[in-house]
Amino acid sequence: MNKSALKPMLATLIDAPFDDKDWVFENKWDGFRLVTKIEHGTVSLYSRNGIDVTKKYAVLLPALKKIKHSCVIDGELVALDKSGRSRFELLQNALNKKARLQYCVFDLLFLDGKDMRKKPLLERKEKLKALLPRDALLLYSAHVPCSGKKAFAKAKRAHEEGVIAKRAAGLYYSGRRTREWLKIKTGNEQEVVVVGFTKPRKTRKYFGSLVLAVYEEGRLTYVGHSGGGFTQAMLKDLHAKMLKLKIDKKPFAQKIKWEQDTTWIRPTLVCEVRFTEWTSNGEMRHPVFLGLRTDKPATKVTREIPIT
């Protein structure tokens, strides 16, 4: 099997929900994307960018070894809050604490040596549901047909991240972002590259805020500062990581506020932030730190604007 076949299919962001009889709608899980390969009882886990993360997420292995077929499945590892909602920020230390983890699986790429990617989505999902064992760590991602607006309204009332619309007869395109899968978010979230940090103020320790950027046409572009969303432990841990990445030169040309109080770092750390809106000059308003992402290289982080 070609390693590129293990890279997950990606969804395109759009700005509004819709109803359509040719589409189905699933919950948009807020976690780490994981592709699982099971071959002759051996389980391997791969991140969104194809890195083997089996040891890191070994907690899933006993459940996945119950699957009695050779297969490749696609899903998302999530940490659930007290209301059962997936929350990305809870994943940061979930593997070291008693967090409620689940692997939410939603697609089947290969089954017993057969390439399922050329089969319609609903056929793939039917076979996926049939092969999953009963285990609290595994959850089949159910869908509803046609009624995207209702599914979105339900997600918004429950303060969930959004919905994913999928063409019911659609194929699976490994490693590609297509219009066959569409994501509609209930709020604004964005992956960003950490390029620096400011001095701490008042009683805060370690650092004041993160300096954030995205890549546009191969170059880093400043998109804002984030000073919210940190616990004391997160401040300490992130500060230690950033100190190892210190550089002398600013990694972009724009002039920004608080430069004299900024320590620049090599642009390798990727994090997720929640924000209210994009401003007219292309910056995020009120970005709040949710957590670091380890499943995507910094050079692939671009501004995500919904299409209409």
What CATH number is associated with residue 36? 3.30.470.30
> 173 and 194 share a domain?
no
- How many domains would you assign to the chain? 2
Task: Give the pLDDT confidence of 238-256 residue by residue, as tens digits.
Answer: 999 999 999 999 999 999 9
Q: Does residue 282 form part of some domain? A: yes
- Do both 116 and 216 map to the same domain? no
Domain boundary among 137, 169, 185: 185
pLDDT of 282: 92
pLDDT at 90: 81
Residue 201 CB neighbours (<10 A): 11
Q: Judge whether 307 lies within some domain.
A: no
Is 70 found in the same domain as 55?
yes
Residue 244: active-site member? no
41 and 117 share one domain: yes
pLDDT in tens, 65-96: 999 999 999 999 998 887 777 888 787 665 65
* 114 against 203, higher pLDDT: 114
User: In this structure, is residue 305 part of a structural domain?
Assistant: no
One domain, residues 26 and 152: yes
Among left, alpha and beta (phi > 0; psi -120 to 50; other), residue 78 is beta
pLDDT digits (tens, 9 = 90+) for 13-53: 999 999 999 999 999 998 999 999 999 889 999 999 889 99
Contact call for residues 144 and 151 (beta carbons, < 8 A): yes
**Shared-domain flag, residues 282 and 223:** yes
Model confidence over 138-176: pLDDT tens digits? 999 999 999 999 999 999 998 888 999 999 999 999 999
Beta bridge partners of 302: 215
Written as six digits, the tokens of 99 are: 């967090």
Range of the domain at 209: 188-300
pLDDT for res 95: 60
Domain boundary (160, 185, 210) is at 185
Instruction: Please identify, among 185, 208, 242, the residue that sits at the C-terminal boundary of a domain.
Output: 185
* Residue with tokens 């910056």, as numbered in its chain: 283
CA distance 229 to 235: 10
| Strand residues in 84-176 grouped as ranges (E) | 100-111, 114-115, 138-140, 143-147, 162-167
Shared domain for 63 and 126, answered yes or no, is yes
Statement to judge: residues 28 and 169 lie in one domain: yes
Q: What is the three-class DSSP state of 62?
A: helix
Overall average pLDDT of the 210-233 stretch: 94
Distance CA 306, CA 308 (A): 7
The one catalytic residue in 3, 7, 28, 249 is: 28
Q: Are 186 and 161 in contact (CB under 8 A)?
A: yes
CATH code, 193: 2.40.50.140
